[in-house]
Amino acid sequence: MKKYKVAVVGATGAVGLEMIKMLENKNFPIESIKFFASERSIGKKLKYKNKNHTVELLTKSGTKNIDIALFSAGVKVSKEFASIFVDNGSFVIDNSSAWRMDKNVPLIVPEVNPHDLKKEKKLIANPNCSTIQMVVVLKPLHDFAKIKRVIVSTYQAVSGAGQKAIDEFKNQIKTWAIKDKKSLESNNKSKFYYPIAFNLIPQIDAFTENGYTKEEMKMTNETKKIMGDSSIEISATCVRVPVFRSHSENIWIETEKSLSPEYAKILLSKSNGIMLLDEPQKRKYPMPLFVENTQVTYVGRIRSDISKKNNNALTFWIVSDNLLKGAALNAVQIAETLIQSRLL
């Protein structure tokens, strides 16, 4: 089997570390691997397959002789270095929002649109975490019944905002436990305007002129692009919740063709990347605490919308690990798909 020269850019971040774990977990065919990060991480040692590798500062010279570069270092780094890797012949799979809505850049979820991968399009965007898990579930339902409208409310884990947010959440919990509730108000809030411990914040990213946040508009625009159907109407409300890891979503869909809960379960149970967990009478349904570190999107509580007289509306609950399928795992799966499709 052919082996590849791989680089992980942003290797010491929450998603970068998961990318390294996924490459090892999936026994990706690697000839050599390089880890790049910011200046504060230079010289740090990261282990891959029981061998230590020194973290390097990313420079133009470091972009040469790489087959696949997995980026999770933010928009600024992606804008500066992704095209340089591509010019040097690398495939770049970028986890930031820098290129997602560029019409010349494929936005890929392998279970949904692998056909959008092309040999000549070496820059590939990894979608937003909340979008990825949703479209994995929407795809088989859309193929059968054509989805007309989606209303989604997300309950997004703190880890979606990065390691600093995780640390802040931990510190707030400790502060509350040692002192009292009022002490949270004076606690250092570097990532969130309000305390996240024991709270819900109905804002992720900045608000746009239409009253929706950038995160909510990402879900709207990215879903249409990935699904290849701009006619789908989508409205999202994104909420940050006091959970360390795994995003949850409540989704309502309206379809052109009648689709019963029973048949939806059959379609989903046969689809790649989905685990059906839908036995509410036995208290079996997806929850973030138990989905952490798993590689599929869990679906449960599938039911007809009782407010509609026809059988063309369903609602359901999905949960997926935002650092894995929502980021690192999806990126590595894109790389695997490139190999399987003989594009690399």
Query: Which residues are part of the catalytic machinery?
Result: 129, 247
Q: Is the dihedral of CA 256, 258, 260, 266 positive or negative?
A: negative
Neighbour count for residue 266 (Cβ, 10 Å): 13
> Which runs of consecutive H residues, i.e. helices, occur in 26-128?
75-87
Q: Where are the alpha helices (DSSP H) in 109-236?
A: 129-145, 163-178, 214-227
Helix (H) or strand (E) holding 249: strand 247-255
Whole-number Å distance between alpha carbons of 45 and 27: 21
How many residues in the chain?
A: 344
Here the tokens at position 83 are: 């095209």
Q: What is the DSSP letter of 284?
A: B
According to DSSP, the residues that pair with 37 across neighbouring strands are 57
Closest CA to 2 of 50, 68, 85, 52: 68
Tokens of 62: 């470091």
102 C-beta neighbours (distance < 10 Å), count: 12
Burial (CB < 10 A; 0-12, 13-18, 19+), residue 262, is exposed
Alpha-carbon distance of 95 to 91, in angstroms, equals: 13
